[in-house]
Each structure stands twice: as structure tokens, then as C-alpha cells.
Structure 1
């Protein structure tokens, strides 16, 4: 009967549904020498808890005053602000340089297009001038 009760308590323990009294029963059972073979793995778990409970940390821990943390936090915020301003400044310069390059490329394309248009207009103007010359000669010949 006790083994069946222990198995139910182990199942409740795995589901995190045990009370402190039930966990004490499990601890007492698993710290004894006689444990059922199929529950042997739980013996290691509960024996670890018993050993770990007795362990203590003996080294001293140096705690620094909170003022230094606040001071460090203030300097950290100042440094972060400076870094942010610096990155915005550099980013703005790079953005302006990129926009200038883009404008220069667009200006070069527009200039090339206007040169091409000007060349074609000059050709057309010369053709019209030649036509006027032929027309004036034709008018003289007809008179």
C-alpha cells in the first residue's frame, strides 16, 4: 500500500501538485536505503536536495554603493546621447552627399538630353534655311 501511495505522490510531484507535507513524505521515503527499483532515479533527485540544503557559500561578496551605479548610469546616458548625436550628424552628411551625387547624375542626364535636342533642332533649322533658299530662288525664277 505504501508503494502505491508513493507512486501517486511521485506523479503529483511531477505535475507540481504536491503540498509541503507530501514532499516531506517523498523526501523521507527516498532518503532511506530501501527504494523500489523502478523509483531509483528519484532517490538521486531527493538525495541531491538533502545535500544541497546543507551547502553554504562561505566567500564574502563585495557590494559597491548604489551611488557609483547611479553615477555610472548618468555617464552612460551622456555617452549614449553623444553617440546618438554623432551618428545623426554623420548620417545627415552621408545623406546630403548621396543626394548631391543623385542630383549630379540627374543634371548630367538632362544636359545630355538637351544637347541632343539642340543638335536635332540645329539640323532642322539648317533644313528650313535651305528650303527658304530654294523657295526664294524659285520665286525669282517665276517672276
Structure 2
């Protein structure tokens, strides 16, 4: 009867469905002397688990002071953002000023070209005016 119960608990154990109390029953059974011969192979496993549970790490672990990298990364990110905004704004203003200068230069060039054409036409008018004055003076 007890052997059937142990085998059922063992199946539940390997399917990870046992409770703490059932696992304690298995540990007690397999660490005892009256283990059935066909279950003898599990005895070493459970004895290992009980020894491993009692095992403790005795070396002193040196603790290093934890460096808070996130704080320094955030400080660097803010510095980069401020740098980018400050100099990016200046760069953008410089680009806009350069663009305005180029557009003004283009407009003044167009004005000069048209003004030059206009002065040529006015030169003909001046010639006409002088000729007209000569005609009026002669009469």
C-alpha cells in the first residue's frame, strides 16, 4: 500500500504537481533504509537534494560599490540635448540668414537686370528728348 503511494507521489513529483508535504514524505522515504529495490535509483537523487539543501557558501564575497551609471548617462544625455539645442538653434538661424541673403541677392540681381534694360530704354527717350529740343529751338 505504501509502495503504491510512494510511486504515485513520485509520478506527481516528476510532473511538478506535488505539495511541500508530499515532497517531504518522498525525502523521508528515500533517505531512510527501507527503500524498495526498483526505486533505489531515486534514493541517491533525494539524498543529494537533502545534502545540497544544507550546503552553504562560506567564502566572503567582496562587495564593490555600485556605480550609478544611469544617473551619469542621464546627465550626459541632458548635456548633449542642451548643447544640441543651443548650437542647433544658432546653426538654424545662420542657415536662415544665409538663405535670406541668397534670396535678397537674387532679387537685387533681377532688379539690376531689369533696371539696366530700363535705362537703355530711357537712353532712347533722352535721345528723343534732345532731338525734340533741337527742333523746338530751331523753330
**What per-residue deviation string (whole Å, max 9, x for no partner) do you get for residues 97-124 of structure 1?**
3124313421332233123222222233
Write the distance in 1 (CA, Å) between the matches of 2:62 and 2:110.
82
Q: Which residue of 1 aligns with 2:11?
A: 7
Number of aligned positions between the proteins:
125
| 1:122 alignment partner in structure 2 | 115
CA distance in 1, matches of 2:133, 2:30: 129
Taking the aligned partners of 2:18 and 2:120, their CA distance within structure 1 comes to: 105
What is the CA RMSD across the aligned residues, in angstroms? 4.5
The alpha-carbon distance between structure 1 residues 119 and 55, as it changes in their structure 2 partners (threshold 3 A), is same
Deviation at 1:133, TM superposition (A): 3.9
Runs of 4+, deviation exceeding 6 Å: 79-82, 138-141
1:35 is aligned to 39
TM-score w.r.t. length of structure 1: 0.53
Larger Rg over CA atoms: 2
Within 5 Å, give how 1:52-131 maps onto structure 2: 52-60=52-60, 86-87=79-80, 89-131=82-124
The change in CA–CA distance for 1:135 and 1:51 in structure 2 (over 3 A counts) is: farther
* Counterpart contact for 2:30–2:47, Cα < 8 Å: yes
